[in-house]
Homo-oligomer: A and B are copies of this chain.
Amino acid sequence: MKHLLTINDLSLMEIEQILHDAQGFSKGEKWNPAEKTFAANLFFEPSTRTRMSFEVAQKKLGFEVLNLDCGFSSTQKGETLYDTVRTMEEIGAKAAVIRHSKDRYFEELAGKVNIPIINAGDGCGNHPTQSLLDLLTIQQEFIVLQGLKVVIVGDIRHSRVARSNAEILHRLGAKVYFSGPREWYDTSLAEDQYLSMDEACEMADVLMMLRIQHERHECKSGMTSGQYHEAYGLTPAREKRMKDQAIIMHPAPVNRGVEIADELVECERSRIFKQMNNGVNVRMAVLKWALEANLKEETANGYLVKGW
């Protein structure tokens, strides 16, 4: 059973295929399963864009969508995550998209469930479809990632996206740098260079802002929002010093005036809303990948799967 739990579950060839399919979907290409297919979205943490993005992706693929509202369900009755997922499987779901506040929640499922799990974010850990949509956005811009200078700015330590993006960008040949408050720097990523925000803006081909996670830690490193913005935010003055072709990315939701000046959110360099658009196409490609990979596996194991 193939799952997408971390970006490292994918070979470079699989990543290439997914980005290729996503680009195709963005151009209007279509793919649908042969029969009515149910997907379950189990979100145990708040999310607008990720859940909606998956829902649109599923519906564009012609899936029937089962949304489990996790504030109002049997999980209140103390059911295990495993039992919830197995239930979804028994009632007909062919894939489960899960977001959970617990790091690596999926370890209790591995090897035990018979439908692919797509990780939509686990605690401070992984968010592989975000990494893929970031890659798609960069690839659309620069085509080749080899040698590209990507600076990730913000709370590296608590970010789902930062570490998995850093890893996959390394694997794909990009040079990854970091900026932001020193105490948020993750020293386990020592081979990469730490830059001041001013250096970062001058050097970056891709300036990848992270979100200040108000909901995960109380303060912005002891600073007010204004002080943070001055020290580590993308101000209009810094934006002017960026290279001609350089782009700005942010996973959103944006704290306007904190990570990035209000007037830059939709500036010419900004790919922030483009990323959201790419998110749908990448998730379509991931769902296609998951269903096709597991179809092949099951056929190889001697099953003929109805409905495909």
Instruction: Spell out A's residues near B (CB within 8 Å).
Output: 28, 36, 38, 40, 46-49, 52-53, 55-56, 59-60, 64, 66, 68-69, 71-80, 83-84, 86-88, 90-92, 214-215, 252-256, 265, 273-274, 276-277, 279-280, 306
The complex places the Cα of A253 from the Cα of B86 at a distance, in Å, of 11
**Residues of chain B contacted by A83 (CB below 8 angstroms):** 252-254, 256, 265
**Residues of chain B contacted by A46 (CB below 8 angstroms):** 72-74, 76-77
Nearest Cβ in chain B — how far from A286, in angstroms?
15
Nearest Cβ in chain B — how far from A58, in angstroms?
10
**B66 engages A38 (CB within 8 Å):** no
**Residue from the set A52, A55, A273 with the largest chain B CB neighbour count within 10 Å:** A52
Nearest Cβ in chain B — how far from A140, in angstroms?
15
**A253 engages B78 (CB within 8 Å):** yes
**B48 engages A75 (CB within 8 Å):** yes
Given A77-B214, A91-B279, CB of A38 within 8 Å of CB of B64: no
The complex places the Cα of A263 from the Cα of B88 at a distance, in Å, of 20
Q: Which residue of B lies closest to A62 (CB)?
A: B36
**Residues of chain B contacted by A280 (CB below 8 angstroms):** 91-92
**Residues of chain B contacted by A64 (CB below 8 angstroms):** 56, 59
**B69 engages A47 (CB within 8 Å):** no
**Residues of chain B contacted by A66 (CB below 8 angstroms):** 52, 55-56
The complex places the Cα of A279 from the Cα of B92 at a distance, in Å, of 11
Given A69-B72, A276-B90, CB of A38 within 8 Å of CB of B53: no
Nearest Cβ in chain B — how far from A298, in angstroms?
17
Nearest Cβ in chain B — how far from A85, in angstroms?
11
Nearest Cβ in chain B — how far from A248, in angstroms?
15
The complex places the Cα of A68 from the Cα of B67 at a distance, in Å, of 12
A-B contact list, 11 entries, CB within 8 Å: A47-B74, A48-B68, A48-B74, A48-B79, A48-B84, A52-B66, A52-B91, A78-B214, A83-B265, A90-B273, A90-B277
The complex places the Cα of A280 from the Cα of B253 at a distance, in Å, of 33
State which of B48, B69, B87, B90 has its C-beta within 8 Å of the C-beta of A87. B48
The complex places the Cα of A71 from the Cα of B88 at a distance, in Å, of 23
Q: Which 5 A-B pairs have the closest CB atoms?
A: A48-B74, A90-B276, A79-B253, A48-B73, A90-B277
